[in-house]
Amino acid sequence: MKKGLLIVVSGPSGVGKGTVLKQVLSNPANRLAYSISMTTRTPREGEVDGVNYYFVTAQRFQQAIENHELLEYAKFVDHYYGTPVAMVETMRNQGTNVLLEIDVQGAKQVMSRCPDALSIFITPPSMDELANRIRNRGSESETVIEKRLDKAKEEMKSSGLYDYVICNQDVNIAARSIEIIIQNHMKR
């Protein structure tokens, strides 16, 4: 059986990755599973442990690093985020494509460890639009919003490292573009 693809998607906080990827994940033709990350940040309203993330203590995260349970990990703004390696390998060996929605630092680690990974960067139509989207989400304080915007500007500089760059001007078009990329790579 053909091994599933490893697909890395990054893009600045607030770019709408979640909405675009939800659409891509819901199409069975993409044979795509979402890799649930481990994080030390607290859940936002509506987020569920074991669905959106595994919400863990800093101590448990440290233990995961020491036990080599993570394919990659990074500190993003004030918290740690990492990809549990076990699920990724199991799913890929079953022929399922696995989607990692991770930051640029993590993506760089995956690109160097897994040269066959397919990488996609999602950009906002403009930085003003990104700021509006983060503010409208209303889930972070102004200090955190400013930090996330600074981080976004920095992350945008790395977009050229990715195999594909997609602008999220329109959710349906962005999702469809990602589906075409995945389906083309599945044929290879």
Residues in the site for ligand 5GP, rule: CB under 6 A?
13, 37, 41, 72-74, 76, 81-83, 101-103, 105-106
Distance in angstroms (rounded) separating the CA atoms of residues 97 and 41: 27
Q: To the nearest whole angstrom, how small is the minimum distance from the Cβ of residue 117 to ligand 5GP?
A: 13
Q: To the nearest whole angstrom, how small is the minimum distance from the Cβ of residue 11 to ligand 5GP?
A: 7
Q: To the nearest whole angstrom, how small is the minimum distance from the Cβ of residue 128 to ligand 5GP?
A: 19
Token digits for 123? 């950009």
What is the number of other CB atoms lying within 10 angstroms of the CB of residue 33?
A: 18
Distance in angstroms (rounded) separating the CA atoms of residues 91 and 128: 38
Phi and psi, residue 106, nearest 5°: -65, -40
Smaller CB distance to ligand 5GP: residue 47 or 163? 47
Smaller CB distance to ligand 5GP: residue 9 or 182? 9
Distance in angstroms (rounded) separating the CA atoms of residues 177 and 154: 25
Smaller CB distance to ligand 5GP: residue 81 or 162? 81
Q: By the 8 A CB rule, do 39 and 81 touch?
A: yes
Smaller CB distance to ligand 5GP: residue 1 or 19? 19
